[in-house]
Chain A
């Protein structure tokens, strides 16, 4: 009887499932992302602070956008990544996907926090208030609490496989908040301005303003990749500490 298991996904998808392979490939990718990220963030910061023109209404406080928008975009992208990785972990029983989801949570939470705090700092000179219970701000605060919930659930559940399942379900349910954040500025009357970037339309701001913003967004993505892979590698090592390949890797140095 010839029972060959049908492979539904491309080869790399199954390779990803191997912690050893994953540890090796992230080791190669790390220097690439960390160096590119650092270069982009430095370039973006100098560009944003020194060369981008000031806003005709908001003056120089507008420069906060170069931190605020990238961190807000990241907070949402990381959340989607975390939820999808959790789903892959449940569907294919892939441990690496669970670990990716686990590694995403603290980075995502700190990005949500950064978006909220820079929003508050920006709100003070622009709206005259640190905080308003506006739809965009409130849904973003809920995102931060969802991250906290996911992290608390990980901390509370002992067994990694059970914790991964429970947090994956929580993060998938919380996914409903992402379109709410996105459309909050359209569905409700808000103080918050509409999206700066969209994939289909040209940005409303001049190129000297949005180009450094694009650099910052890319830099933030590289930063996320770096931080996530660092955490992922630690998680792989500690969960695989009884295997031979970890022993060889650690004792070799």
Chain B
């Protein structure tokens, strides 16, 4: 462990803002990259289900 207290850990020797900002942006980008296609998949499957149901009703 490199830090003795929480304050030291958050402060990062005065570079806290830079370090935490970098890690936060990285986390945001990674989450967006996984969540967006995941949400799109749910939407796509839902719309395909409705489409096939409609086609089934017509027959």
Q: Verify if B33 is at the interface (C-beta below 8 Å from A).
A: yes
- Given that A50-B3, A60-B15 are known contacts, is A41 also in contact with B30, CB under 8 Å in the complex? yes
- Given that A71-B26, A114-B25, A117-B25 are known contacts, is A60 also in contact with B13, CB under 8 Å in the complex? yes
CB pair B34 A67 closer than 8 Å: no
Interface residues of B in 5-58 (CB under 8 A from A): 9, 12-16, 18-19, 21-23, 25-26, 29-30, 32-34, 37-38, 40-41, 44-45, 48-49, 51-53
CB pair A54 B2 closer than 8 Å: yes
Residue of B nearest to A114 (CB): B29
Number of interface residues of B (CB under 8 A): 32
CB pair A64 B2 closer than 8 Å: no
CB pair A227 B33 closer than 8 Å: yes
CB-CB under 8 A from A106, the residues of chain B are: 33
Q: Is the interface of A mostly helix, strand, loop or mixed?
A: helix
CB pair B33 A223 closer than 8 Å: yes
CB-CB under 8 A from A121, the residues of chain B are: 18, 21-22
Interface residue ranges, B against A (CB under 8 Å): 1-3, 9, 12-16, 18-19, 21-23, 25-26, 29-30, 32-34, 37-38, 40-41, 44-45, 48-49, 51-53
